[in-house]
């Protein structure tokens, strides 16, 4: 629903737009309030709330809230709860073919969604006047690290948020207006990652969020959201789609930086020789 509201934001009336922004700002909890409380939050009337949910395709407010509750249940799923829904695999290939097909579909879908955001992402990541921070959660930290390793070879001013969250304020201290924070946050979403993103936003940094199709709460204030389908026939969600988006984004940044990145890599390869790397 969050993706639908974001997509249609420009088509809403002024009053409906206030409702949409109120919902996104406290998603999904704002939509679980009574009509009166939701209207107060959005500085509008009860009838406007009802018109808004009708515009989204719901017959009434109860159906709208039921959809939100169902979405919350899916967003909070962990590996244990997914064991009960694993499909039966038949044939000699076992789960191999089913997982492979799912991965391909996930990447294709995410790639199509990425196209509309890619120019804006590249403009930010290729801008030498903007510093970049990459951060992720328990598993998605690996994807953040992957992007960091690429970008630091292509340009200066790229850092990976390391250490425990107790030390993350040290990184926030250096965030300047216009700096970019690339956040990887997948279900079950981490509170410490969300707090870091909020802190960066408060420092006037810009947030590029790579998340799943159920949307991290960070999406409510992110500047750009890249949704990645993560479901496969397994007890665990897949990180492959996020890695694929990193590959596509990196290729586009290489193209945008042109000779500048090439000259930097030439120097890097020369510096690597004494360490016998790649031999």
CATH number at residue 183: 3.40.50.10490
Residue 248 falls within a domain, yes or no?
A: yes
Rounded Cα distance between 90 and 98, Å, is 10
Neighbours of 218 (CB within 10 A): 23
Which domain range does residue 210 map to?
116-274
Give residue-wise pLDDT tens across range 79-117.
555 545 555 555 545 678 888 888 999 999 999 989 999
Q: Where are the alpha helices (DSSP H) in the chain?
A: 2-7, 14-25, 35-41, 46-55, 61-75, 79-83, 96-114, 118-125, 141-154, 168-172, 191-202, 240-257, 259-272
Strand 206-212 versus strand 224-228 pairing type:
parallel
Same domain, 243 and 136: yes
Question: How many domains does the chain contain in total?
Answer: 2
Poorest-pLDDT segment among 79-83, 154-158, 205-209: 79-83
| Average pLDDT over the chain, rounded to an integer | 88
Rounded Cα distance between 264 and 145, Å, is 20
Residue 220 falls within a domain, yes or no?
A: yes
Same domain, 136 and 258: yes
Same domain, 19 and 151: no
Residue 63 falls within a domain, yes or no?
A: yes
Q: Which residues contact 165 (CB under 8 A, 6 or more apart)?
A: 192, 195, 196
Residue 86 falls within a domain, yes or no?
A: no
Domain's final residue, options 75, 98, 130: 75
Rounded Cα distance between 237 and 137, Å, is 14
Whole-model pTM over 0.85: no
Same domain, 53 and 163: no
Give residue-wise pLDDT tens across range 14-59.
899 899 888 887 888 889 999 999 999 999 999 999 999 999 999 9
Same domain, 156 and 49: no
Residue 106 falls within a domain, yes or no?
A: no
Q: Report pLDDT for 279.
A: 47
Rounded Cα distance between 217 and 191, Å, is 9
Same domain, 176 and 248: yes
Rounded Cα distance between 165 and 211, Å, is 20
Domain's final residue, options 47, 75, 103: 75
When pLDDT is averaged across residues 126-141 and rounded to a whole number, the result is 95
Rounded Cα distance between 183 and 196, Å, is 9
Rounded Cα distance between 76 and 261, Å, is 41
CATH number at residue 11: 1.10.10.10
Same domain, 63 and 146: no
Domain's final residue, options 23, 48, 75: 75
Q: Report pLDDT for 79.
A: 54
Residue 209 has pLDDT above 50, yes or no: yes
Rounded Cα distance between 267 and 66, Å, is 58
Residue 96 falls within a domain, yes or no?
A: no
């Amino acid at each position: 629903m969050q993706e639908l509201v974001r997509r249609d934001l420009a088509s809403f009336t002024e009053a409906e737009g206030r409702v949409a922004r109120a919902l996104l700002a406290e998603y999904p909890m704002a939509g679980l309030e009574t009509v009166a409380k939701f209207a107060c939050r959005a500085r509008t009337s009860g009838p406007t709330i009802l018109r808004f949910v009708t515009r989204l395709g719901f017959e009434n407010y109860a159906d709208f809230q039921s959809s939100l509750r169902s979405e919350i249940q899916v967003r909070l799923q962990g590996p244990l709860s997914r064991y009960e829904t694993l499909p039966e695999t038949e044939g000699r290939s076992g789960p191999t073919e089913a997982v492979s097909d799912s991965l391909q579909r996930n990447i294709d879908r995410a790639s199509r969604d990425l196209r509309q955001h890619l120019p804006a992402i590249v403009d930010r990541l290729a801008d030498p006047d903007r510093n970049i921070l990459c951060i992720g959660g328990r598993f998605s930290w690996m994807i953040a690290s992957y992007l960091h390793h690429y970008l630091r070879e292509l340009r200066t001013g790229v850092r990976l948020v390391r250490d425990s969250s107790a030390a993350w304020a040290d990184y926030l201290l250096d965030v300047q207006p216009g700096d970019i924070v690339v956040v990887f946050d997948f279900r079950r979403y981490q509170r410490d990652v969300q707090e870091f993103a909020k802190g960066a936003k408060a420092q006037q940094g810009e947030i590029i969020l790579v998340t799943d199709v159920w949307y991290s709460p960070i999406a409510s204030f992110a500047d750009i959201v890249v949704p990645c389908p993560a479901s496969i026939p397994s007890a665990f969600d897949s990180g492959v789609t996020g890695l694929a988006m990193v590959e596509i984004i990196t290729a586009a940044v290489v193209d945008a930086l042109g000779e500048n990145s090439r000259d930097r890599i030439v120097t890097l390869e020369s510096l690597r020789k004494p360490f016998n790397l790649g031999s």
